[in-house]
Amino acid sequence: MQAVTFPLPALSIAGWQHGPTQQKVTLCLHGWLDNADSFLPLTAHLPQLNLVAIDLPGHGQSEHRSADAHYHFLDWIYDVATLVKTAGWQQVDIIGHSMGAMIGSVLAAVMPQMVHKLVLIDSIGLVTGEASNITSQVRSAINHRWQSPNKQKPVYSDLQSAALARQSQSDFDLASALILAKRGTTPCPGGLTWSADMRLRESSAYRLLQPQAMQLLKDIQCPVLAILAKDGLQMMQQARQEYLHCYQQLELIELTGGHHCHMTQPEPTANAIRQFLLS
């Protein structure tokens, strides 16, 4: 495994590469407030894939957006599309978890030439909003932006303490929390704190409406594998009912485990991925 850095026009993206570099890139996109190392447990079971896992902007070891910018969902689509273009990858397979799966889904819809196959881990459909909520949505986003500069990140005495705090807000074990904490923390006075940009926690200024989300999903031309966790997020089970009919080519399987099943159940998750991507 080797560290990689991708300079983009506005910022630099960090990540790692594992596996045979002569093979097509399988780009790994993590979930909200996670980082590239969420895919580390899969590497032992996918040695034949050229895995490139990145920290999305504002996460892990990647740079934060500039002081006058924010984290709009659609900007992450631009980031990943620009990465694929500037890296010179003709076409990639994508493994996305949670928010990363949604980013991969929209990229596959709007840039079909870039995505060969798409794997969604405990994710299906897209997060949407109601038209009737737009006024309160924008108001909440403005208030959150005003508050962000005054918020302080928590400080932990050591990595174990940070991992325990992360575990308390998740559905996985301490070993998984340690994996994320190791890449997702940075030294600070008094110990360690999270490297993620505080602005990631701001409310979105807008959300896609459901008809827009459905149209994007219908425009995905590539084969899609959705791996849903039996004990995963309830919102994904609800989305399954709402969006299942939108995909042109969808294979859906259920695996034991929670939302981070690719970390806690890496072998069965990898087996499903391998069968799909290499068939």
Where residue 218 falls (left for φ over 0; alpha for ψ -120 to 50; beta otherwise) is alpha
φ/ψ (deg, to 5) at 164: -65, -40
Cα–Cα separations (whole angstroms), residue 251 to 49, 209, 225 = 20, 25, 5
Please report, as a single letter, which amino acid is at residue 29: L
Residue 130: is it exposed, middle or buried by C-beta count within 10 angstroms (0-12/13-18/19+)? Answer: exposed
Residue 10 neighbours by CB under 8 Å, 6+ apart: 65, 66
> What is the distance between the alpha carbons of residues 147 and 152, in angstroms, rounded to a whole number?
10
- Provide the 3-class DSSP secondary structure of residue 251: strand
User: Tokens at residue 14, please?
Assistant: 């960090």
98 is catalytic: yes
* C-alpha dihedral, 205 to 104 to 225 to 23, nearest 10°: -160
Q: Which of 38, 62, 98, 195 is catalytic?
A: 98
Give the chain's radius of gyration (CA, Å).
18
Q: CB 97: neighbour CB atoms within 10 A?
A: 28
Q: Annotated catalytic sites, by residue?
A: 98
